[in-house]
Amino acid sequence: MQLIDGRAIAQTIREKIKQHIAALPSSPGLAVILVGADPASHTYVAIKQKACEEVGIRFEKYLYFATESEETIIKKIHELNARKDINGILVQLPLPNQDTDRVIAEIDPNKDVDGFHPKNIEKLKCGEPAIASAVALGILKLIDSTNEKLNGKSATIISSERFAEPIVALLRERGVVSHVCPEEHSDTKEHAAQSDILIVAEGHPNFVTGDMVKRGAIVIDVGTTKINGKLIGDVDRASVESIAGYLTPVPGGVGPMTVAMLLVNVLKAFELQKI
């Protein structure tokens, strides 16, 4: 089995973005809205801020209490939509109490660098150019890095429909047929064991075991759960590594790639808005 080094691939992408931004007449700007006090969300935003600062993207953060009204958050989004110096807007998910769909729908689709706006998802599903989910783009880059021929392969994505939608669309462009099923479905293990590509994002530590993996499969572990200060993935590496062809580690796989592709999306949004 070969481990896919997400950190190394992400570092190469970040270096290219840094060089690209250095040659621009002005720097792209990203605004992040962070609601509530969830430690994981604050950690993720800090990681994104550091990455932006490293490559030369201006970063603004707007903090709100968990009890903040949707109206106040939406008002801020409208302000950011109108600003020419802000090219990307990201609402850190999950939101504590607010209606996620309503809030995300208020972001200008051309500034939706997380790729969750319904218009961007619809464009992606129709095969039209769109800003795609950073995590979905990261997953695709990791799969591409194996240099395996993808056309005609099958994939199982163990996750929610919402999370899987952009991944399904991107894989379809590569000729991969995907099946989406949450972990509780009775046929999930059967589908997983027959798939050339297995992607799991449930936040259920060590859920995927060796009997769920097809020999030689590409296994992408998106889930992260902190147990006794250590990050644990959704894949039980000990039982899977003798069967899988490729596996992303946790940490060091999907996480760094998601941040790198967010930077790519900010740059893409900047260039779309300059056209």
Q: What is the predicted pLDDT for the residue at 275?
A: 65
134-255 CATH, one of 3.50.50.60, 3.30.1490.20, 3.40.50.720, 1.20.1300.10: 3.40.50.720
- Residue 71 CB coordination number (10 Å): 9
Q: Are 17 and 113 in contact (CB under 8 A)?
A: no
Tens of pLDDT, residue by residue, the chain (275 residues): 999 999 999 999 999 999 999 999 999 999 999 999 999 899 999 999 999 999 999 999 999 999 999 999 999 999 999 999 999 999 999 999 999 999 999 999 999 999 999 999 999 989 898 999 999 999 999 999 999 999 999 999 999 998 999 999 999 999 999 999 988 888 999 999 999 999 999 999 999 999 999 999 999 999 999 899 899 999 999 999 999 999 999 999 999 999 999 999 999 999 999 86
89 burial (CB, 10 Å; 0-12 / 13-18 / 19+) is: buried
Among residues 255, 239, 134, 153, the alpha carbon closest in space to that of 198 is found at: 153
Q: Which pair of tokens denotes residue 5?
A: 């080094």
Q: What is the predicted pLDDT for the residue at 265?
A: 98
Q: What is the predicted pLDDT for the residue at 150?
A: 98
Architecture of the domain made up of 25-110: 3-Layer(aba) Sandwich (3.40)
Q: Are strands 225-227 and 230-232 parallel, antiparallel or unpaired?
A: antiparallel
The CA-based dihedral angle spanning residues 127, 114, 137, 123, taken in that order and rounded to the nearest 10 degrees: 0
Q: How far, in whole angstroms, is CA 183 from its chain's centroid?
A: 19
The answer to whether the 25-110 and 134-255 domains have the same CATH topology is yes
User: How many residues appear in the chain?
Assistant: 275
The residue extents of the domains of the chain are: 25-110, 134-255
